[in-house]
């Protein structure tokens, strides 16, 4: 079977089960973990299809969560469950937004408020100082916060990538944002989201040192007991990749732990051709994809495999998604992201 045909077959299987499985807990007795969903804009899909979902898509997502018996909880409760229970077996989802766009209040907030669903917005505090424009004002954020449904996380004072930024500036960007949020909102943010989902291992250590409970990227995967606490995955949804079928597929995934062994950092040189991964249970049956292609794996045993990369270019984010069939239409899903110099 050719590589393109293999890829098409795998995704057709995923989509088939995504449509057919009615209850998200059927057939899975192991760890389900927490599915953290990431949105940016709602109702701005004509202008921003890569960062917005339509209002009808967002409403369909909320209906699907309910139909599949998912409990939508706040970030703090979700991570407390992971910390205390280890293997979370109840279907749990978390709703997050990055950047604090005005369309969240205009289009998403009425639907969330009607259903009483909690959510978190990660904000760059500096952009909310000026009224009008694409971003919410502090008064709008406080209005949603008074409901008890919304919490705020830090996204850095300005939306600038951590990659290539020295530690002193990173620290200033975070500490200034935290101080501004605490002053304007009245509470200190407990979670951090890296701008563009980008950070190296030093950035993770800084976020931990500054007292956050967790840090989040934008790579796909399910949060579980062995996930990196300061670089947790989220499933990003947008107009192009935000159909009910895709969310159905996401909601039937379980944690799959994929660790980078070589090189030791996620920031790699452009001439890299392969990486050494350690994959948890199910790794012997896993398939990994990058740039829409099925990638070659050389299995070494003991959960370790050489993964051969294709088409790596400087200055890009190289995303790898590894999956394996669990049974009953469920898949283990682990994501890895490399930042190419």
At 230 the pLDDT is 98
Q: Which CATH number applies to 1-21+254-341: 2.60.40.10, 3.30.70.100, 1.20.1540.10, 1.20.200.10?
A: 2.60.40.10
Main-chain phi, psi angles of 22, to 5 degrees: -95, -45
The Cα 2–Cα 30 span in angstroms is 33
Give 99-139 pLDDT, tens digit per residue. Answer: 999 999 999 999 999 999 999 999 999 888 877 789 999 99
Q: Which helix (H) or strand (E) holds 191?
A: strand 191-193
Summarize the confidence of residues 30-58 as an average pLDDT: 95
Which are the contacts of 296, defined by CB distance < 8 A and separation ≥ 6? 307, 308
193 or 25: which leads in pLDDT: 193
At 328 the pLDDT is 87
Residue 4: pLDDT over 70 = no
Summarize the confidence of residues 13-19 as an average pLDDT: 38
Give 260-274 pLDDT, tens digit per residue. Answer: 999 999 999 999 999
Lowest average pLDDT, out of 9-13, 113-117, 306-310, goes to 9-13
- Residue 301 binned pLDDT confidence (cut-offs 50, 70, 90): confident
Residue 283: pLDDT over 70 = yes
Residue 75: pLDDT over 80 = yes
Report the topology of domain 23-251. TIM Barrel (3.20.20)
Instruction: Please name every residue paired with 298 in a beta bridge, in sequence order, or none if there are none.
Output: 306
- Residue 17 binned pLDDT confidence (cut-offs 50, 70, 90): very low
At 133 the pLDDT is 85
- The pTM of the full predicted model, rounded to 2 decimals, is 0.90
At 200 the pLDDT is 95
Helix (H, G, I), strand (E, B) or coil at 292: coil
What would the two tokens of residue 256 be? Answer: 């799959």
Instruction: Give the residue range(s) of CATH 2.60.40.10 domains in the chain.
Output: 1-21+254-341
Give 155-167 pLDDT, tens digit per residue. Answer: 999 999 999 899 9
Instruction: Please name every residue paired with 236 in a beta bridge, in sequence order, or none if there are none.
Output: 38
At 275 the pLDDT is 97
Report the mean per-residue pLDDT for the chain.
90
- Residue 29 binned pLDDT confidence (cut-offs 50, 70, 90): low
At 281 the pLDDT is 85
The Cα 86–Cα 84 span in angstroms is 6
| Residue 53 burial class via C-beta count within 10 angstroms: exposed 0-12, middle 13-18, buried 19 and up | buried
Give 165-198 pLDDT, tens digit per residue. Answer: 999 999 999 999 999 999 999 999 999 999 999 9
Residue 12: pLDDT over 80 = no
Instruction: Give the residue range(s) of CATH 3.20.20.370 domains in the chain.
Output: 23-251
């Amino acid at each position: 079977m050719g590589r393109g045909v293999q890829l098409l077959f795998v995704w057709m299987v995923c989509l088939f089960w995504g449509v057919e499985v009615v209850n998200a807990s059927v057939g899975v007795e192991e760890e389900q973990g927490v599915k953290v969903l990431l949105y940016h804009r709602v109702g701005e899909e004509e202008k921003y299809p890569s960062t917005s979902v339509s209002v009808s898509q967002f409403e369909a997502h909320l209906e699907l969560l309910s139909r599949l018996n998912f409990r939508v909880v706040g970030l703090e409760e979700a991570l407390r469950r992971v910390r205390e229970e280890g293997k979370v077996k109840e279907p749990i989802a978390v709703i997050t937004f990055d950047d604090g766009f005005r369309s969240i209040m205009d289009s998403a907030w009425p639907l969330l408020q009607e259903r009483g669903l909690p959510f978190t917005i990660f904000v760059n505090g500096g952009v909310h100082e000026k009224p009008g424009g694409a971003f919410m004002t502090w008064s709008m954020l406080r209005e949603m916060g008074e409901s008890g449904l919304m919490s705020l996380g830090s996204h850095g004072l300005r939306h600038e990538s951590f990659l290539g930024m020295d530690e002193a500036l990173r620290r200033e960007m975070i500490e200034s944002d935290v101080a501004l949020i605490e002053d304007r909102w009245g509470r200190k943010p407990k979670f951090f989201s890296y701008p563009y989902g980008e950070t190296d291992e030093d950035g993770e250590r800084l976020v931990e040192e500054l007292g956050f409970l967790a840090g989040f990227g934008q790579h796909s995967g399910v949060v579980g007991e062995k996930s990196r606490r300061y670089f947790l995955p989220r499933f990003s949804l947008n107009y192009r990749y935000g159909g009910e079928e895709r969310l159905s597929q996401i909601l039937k995934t379980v944690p799959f732990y994929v660790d980078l062994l070589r090189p030791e950092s996620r920031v790699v040189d452009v001439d890299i051709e392969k990486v050494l991964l350690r994959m948890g249970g199910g790794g012997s049956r896993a398939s990994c994809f990058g740039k829409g292609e099925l990638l070659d794996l050389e299995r070494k045993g003991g959960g370790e495999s050489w993964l051969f990369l294709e088409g790596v270019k400087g200055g890009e984010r190289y995303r790898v998604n590894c999956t394996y069939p669990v049974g009953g239409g469920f898949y283990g899903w682990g994501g890895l992201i490399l930042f190419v110099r």
